[in-house]
Structure 1
């Protein structure tokens, strides 16, 4: 019987004694009963029904809905339309904050104009780039009485020049364009550096001095009252 039903011999002996504890549960016990009933020529379903009557009855059918029902109900959040009033309020607040920040910190800081070295600097108020004949005559007169040095230079061709007062105050530094005449006056004297000695014609206190030096040579000259001196 064990070989034909593939049920262990000890389990068959226990079933014969109405001991179904070794079957592993009602499901397996019904399976063993069906196999044994087929081999010995009994109706399997009748024998299983007899087993259910003797061991608690037929199990009640189980609904799938009860098996898969969740212990905790799932709350599905209802979709709501966006709150446009709140969104507009937030947007308006952002615009106001941005405007305040723009007004408080958006002013541009003025930057000082950096003048290139190659561009002639504007002479001080005391000096005049192109004085009128009357002002030049007054300067010459002042030079004779008050030991003022009137330094006049004319550029025959564009070249660089640096004019410094004897006290160290810068009067001019930059390019003097060809054909341009400039006049500066200072107490005690001036110190002049020429980028090209042959590019300029000089007059000091009304006296014509010609060119300060050879053409193409960088020179430094000092002119004091009452007569110019070279070094």
Structure 2
């Protein structure tokens, strides 16, 4: 017979203290692995960044940015890996010496949700009244202008209509022609201390681009037939004509007589001393 401890007595004692409990990060990691999920899977599902998931599983809560965010991440991760978040949150608070949150008193809740009694909104009423007055005045002025226009037409000899559309008579004034492009004399009034360039699409449409002496873009687009653009700068205008044959140029009040070919692309520069192609 041997004297001493039996084999059963030599078994290590089971540690049932709080230190034997897995840490928060370890518990979350074990639950994730048991669920067959990777850190990427958890991050994608919970929208918690991968770096923060790794930090929490290593019990490093600093990247969370504070206790409020750490508790929220713990709760989110625990639910996703099928753990009860309450024990983990209690363990987190105990480790940091934070008291457990207490529910609000029923009286406080009742007073908080009690609707606040408000008086009449005089500001909204005043705004509505002002809008109504402005609308009435505008309608009155519009109606007065319409009646004055009708009286003027009758006084000039036009027959008032009686429910039928009056056909245009020979005496009715013809519609005015569209305003013609500025003539050479009008363009000649351009100031001499600046360079003025007018581009007119007289024989078709053309893409044009215009820049000032600093290279700032003044226009870049399609000029349809009959349209004109006028550009002015203190010293220089740079032009690019996509179809120079369709364009007529006036520079500092003078017509440019260059024989541009249809479909030709021209790059031109004009200054205060032109017309001379730079």
- Return the structure number with greater relative CO, CA threshold 8 A, min gap 6: 1
Higher strand share: 1
From the CA coordinates, give the structure whose radius of gyration is larger: 1
TM-score, structure 2 normalization: 0.32
